[in-house]
Amino acid sequence: MFENIRLSFQGIWSHKLRSFLTMLGIIIGIAAIIAIVSTIEGTNELIKQNMMGNNRHTVKVQLSQDDYTYEISTWSPSPEGVPLFDEDTRQEILQIPNVLRAAFYQVRSEYNSTVYYNNQSLSSCMVLGIDQYYFGTAGYQTMEGREILEEDSQKKRQVAVIDESVQRSLFPDEDPIGKTIEIYGEPFTVIGVCTQVGQSELVINSEEEYWTYYQGGSSSGNIYIPKGVWGTIYKFDEAQNLVLQASGADEMAAAGKAAANIMNQNMNVSDSSITYRSEDLMQQAKQLQDMQSSTNSMLIWVACISLLVGGIGVMNIMLVSVTERTKEIGLKKAIGAKKGRILGQFLTEAAILTSMGGLLGVAAGIGLAEVISKMSSTPVAINGTSIVVSVGFSTLIGVVFGLLPSISAANLNPIEALRHE
């Protein structure tokens, strides 16, 4: 066995350029597979982090109609018969196993330049009526100023916290704290600027992925006002939604469903398709991952074709090697070498050739993945299993495509081989 390995390296080294060119197809195929798989793994991990609130394990329970979030607007008012929830309901939800925090909120999507500062307006935004528990539950923190307090609602203060997107749109060159914005003509004093803790940008590669992730359409930012002044610009009795924080990823689905059941207990809506539903974040993440994987599966097939072409190249060069070494084979058989010894020597050489190509392909693939990551801001995750499988597969290609030349060498007639010119 060790003798076969020594002879294989000797044969490969004696024809360095030819051996490298033979390995090139294997190197390209393995490099492509490693780069693609690493990109898929990294993107899938990013999707999971984004969909699960950057590891905060937050779940939204929203008023829904069929499979879509019920969006309350001027043209689509809050349905009659939807119950309003108080502190007792929140405490009941907090008793659900593995629920750490919970907060009710109201939300409106605004698309008609209803938010103004001086002569500037927002083409679209989300206005949320929140309590003092919302920021801590949803994972927001103030970068400037302060959060919404309980007394803001109690004293009906017309104050607002804006996010970074609204700040960039309305206050690109000035400090927003203390400035007054108008929402439907009502003045609100900006008391804070907030951001989501650990927020990162999700990579969207297709229209389907866009609509899977952004079900509510585009928005140029969020504005948060105290729930106590919601009725100043909207209606106090508009439907509420819920955001909760679970203790872990595995508990998110069960906690969300249990909270939805509590919120649906007193529903008295004539349309049975309108209910509170928890968002199935793991399912949404899986949909995006499936889309990402299906997008890249074609590339993997192309890489596999490259491996097959590389395998054919190995078979071709091994047949040439058998022809060149016909006298050597005849001499070995004449002094007693068995068929199995000759077969093993050439199979070992083919396997080592493709294994070296596989290892070089892995190194090239890791480098290529890092380059792709820097150029496209796409995360990568190097998977040890894919490396082992890739090298093993390249070795298997060597064995399979080296089998015919090896059998040909093993079956040579020693007398005819010695006569070969």
Model confidence pLDDT, tens digit, residues 180-207: 999 988 999 999 999 987 544 444 444 4
Neighbours of 67 (CB within 10 A): 8
CB 324 within 8 A of CB 349: no
Amino acid identity, position 304: C
**Per-chain mean pLDDT for the chain:** 80
- Assigned token pair, 331: 């001499």
Amino acid identity, position 371: V
Q: What is the arithmetic mean of pLDDT over 238-254? A: 88
- Assigned token pair, 417: 């081989």
At a CB cut-off of 8 Å and minimum separation 6, what does 51 contact? 213, 281, 282, 284, 285, 288
Q: What is the arithmetic mean of pLDDT over 399-419? A: 74
The helices-and-strands tally (H runs, E runs) of the chain is: 14, 13
Q: DSSP 3-state assignment of 306?
A: helix
- The predicted model scores a pTM of 0.58
* Backbone φ/ψ region at 55: left (φ over 0), alpha (ψ -120 to 50), beta: left
Q: Among 16-20, 84-88, 346-350, 393-397, which range has the highest average pLDDT?
A: 84-88
Report residue 329 CA to chain centroid gap: 55
Question: What does the CA dihedral 88, 94, 96, 97 come to, rounded to 10 degrees?
Answer: -160
Amino acid identity, position 219: S
Q: DSSP labels for 179-247?
A: -EEEETTEEEEEEEEEEETT--PPP--SHHHHHHH-TT---S-EEEEEGGGHHHHS-TT---EEEEEES
Cα distance between residue 203 and residue 290, in whole Å: 14
Q: DSSP labels for 340-360?
A: HHHHHHHHHHHHHHHHHHHHH
Q: What is the pLDDT of residue 213?
A: 42
Q: What is the pLDDT of residue 7?
A: 64
Cα distance between residue 233 and residue 106, in whole Å: 12
pLDDT in tens, 292-339: 556 556 666 766 777 787 788 888 877 777 777 777 777 777 777 777
Neighbours of 141 (CB within 10 A): 12
257/23: higher pLDDT: 257
Q: What is the pLDDT of residue 36?
A: 79
Cα distance between residue 27 and residue 16, in whole Å: 15
